[in-house]
C-alpha cells in the first residue's frame, strides 16, 4: 500500500502521466571508494538492506502505474544501481554516458549494450563527459544540463544536436550536490523544486526565467538528498526523511510518496539516482 502525504488544494490541478523506467538491482552494492562527499568506505554497508529498499522503490513505481524494466547488474560495479547515470533517453534516441571517474567507466558500456539489445536503434556514444540523467533533466521541451563536478559544459551541444531541443546549462557549486538531480527535481513542465545554494547566480536566474513556479527546498531537506526525487506530474517519490519538502509539495497540489533509501544514501544516491526514464 502506498502512503502519501495529505494533498491540499494547489494553485492548479496536477496531472499524472504513465512513465517508463529502467532500474538496476543493487546486487553488488558497496561503498569501496569515495568519489563524492557522501561516500565513506570505512563505514559498513548492508547489501541486503539496499536490495530491500530498492525493491520497495520498484514496487512503488508499479503501484503508481508505471512500467519498470531492469538491467542485469555486473560484478565489480557497485554504483551500477544508479541507473539514472547510464544514459539520457528522449523520443527513443539515446545519448550514452561517459563517466568522470575510472571506477564507473565500465558502467557506460553495460548500459549501451542494454539499449542495443533492447531494440533501440539510435544510440550515440558521447564525445564529452556526461553522467546521464544525473546531470541532464528534461523539463517540457527544454533540457537542463548541470556541470561543474561530474559532467562537461560542452555536452550541451551534443544534446541539442541529437535531441533537437534547447539546452539550459546550470553550473553546480556545492560538492555535496555533485549531480543536478541531487539539487533539483523537475515536477512538471512549468514547476521545479530546487536548492538555490547549489547553483551560482547565473543558474538561479536561468531557472527563474525558465519556470513559472519554483519551490525552494530548505537546508534540512536538501541535506538528506530530498531533491533526488521522481515526479510523474502528480506523485513525487522522494526520501521519506525529507518531511518538510513533502509538506511543501503537498501544499502545492502534488502527492508526495515517501520511501526509505538510507542505505543507498551512503553512496550519495536516492530515488532518482536509481531511476532512468525511458522516453
273 included as an active-site residue? yes
Integer Cα distance of 33 and 258 in angstroms: 28
Q: Which whole-number Å values give the CA distances from 46 to 68, 251, 273, in the listed order?
A: 24, 36, 18
Q: Which of 100, 185, 273, 274 is catalytic?
A: 273
| 128 catalytically annotated | no
Task: Point out the catalytic residue in the list 100, 179, 185, 235.
Answer: 179
HEC per residue, the chain:
CCCECCCCCCCCCCCCCCCEEEECCCCCCCCCCCCCCCCCCCCCCCHHHHHHHHHHHHHHHHHCCCEEEECCCCCCCCCCCCHHHHEEEECCEEEECECCCHHHHHHHHHHHHHHHHCCCCEEECCCCCECHHHCEEEECCEEEEEECCCCCCCHHHHHHHHHCCCEEEEEECCCCCCCHHHCEEEEECCEEEECHHHECHHHHHHHHHHCCEEEECCHHHHCCCCCCCEECCCEEEEECCCHHHHHHHHHCCCEEEEECCHHHHCCCCCCCCCCEECC
**Known catalytic residues?**
179, 273
Amino acid at each position: 500500500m502506498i502512503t502519501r502525504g495529505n494533498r491540499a488544494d494547489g494553485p492548479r490541478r496536477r496531472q499524472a502521466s504513465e512513465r517508463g523506467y529502467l532500474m538496476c538491482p543493487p546486487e553488488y552494492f558497496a561503498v569501496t571508494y569515495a568519489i563524492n562527499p557522501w561516500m565513506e568506505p570505512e563505514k559498513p554497508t548492508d547489501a541486503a538492506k539496499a536490495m530491500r529498499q530498492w525493491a520497495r522503490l520498484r514496487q512503488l513505481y508499479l503501484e503508481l502505474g508505471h512500467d519498470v524494466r531492469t538491467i542485469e547488474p555486473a560484478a565489480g560495479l557497485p554504483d551500477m544501481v544508479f541507473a539514472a547515470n547510464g544514459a539520457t533517453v528522449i523520443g527513443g534516441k539515446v545519448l550514452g554516458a561517459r563517466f568522470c571517474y575510472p571506477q564507473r567507466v565500465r558502467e557506460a558500456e553495460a548500459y549501451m549494450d542494454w539499449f542495443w539489445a533492447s531494440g533501440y536503434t539510435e544510440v550515440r556514444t558521447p564525445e564529452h563527459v556526461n553522467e546521464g540523467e544525473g546531470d541532464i533533466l528534461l523539463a517540457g521541451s527544454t533540457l537542463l544540463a548541470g556541470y561543474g563536478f561530474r559532467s562537461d559544459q560542452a555536452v550541451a551541444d551534443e544534446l541539442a544536436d541529437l535531441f533537437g531541443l534547447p539546452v539550459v546549462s546550470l553550473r553546480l557549486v556545492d560538492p555535496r550536490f555533485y549531480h543536478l538531480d541531487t539539487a533539483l527535481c523537475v515536477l512538471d513542465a512549468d514547476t521545479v523544486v530546487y536548492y538555490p545554494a547549489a547553483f551560482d547566480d547565473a543558474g538561479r536566474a536561468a531557472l527563474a526565467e525558465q519556470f513559472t513556479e519554483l519551490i525552494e527546498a530548505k537546508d534540512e531537506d536538501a541535506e538528506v538528498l530530498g531533491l533526488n526525487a521522481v515526479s510523474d506530474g502528480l506523485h513525487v517519490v522522494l526520501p521519506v526523511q525529507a518531511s518538510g519538502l513533502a509538506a511543501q509539495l503537498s501544499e502545492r497540489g502534488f502527492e508526495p510518496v515517501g520511501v526509505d533509501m538510507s542505505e543507498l544514501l551512503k553512496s550519495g544516491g536516492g530515488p532518482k539516482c536509481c531511476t532512468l526514464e525511458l522516453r
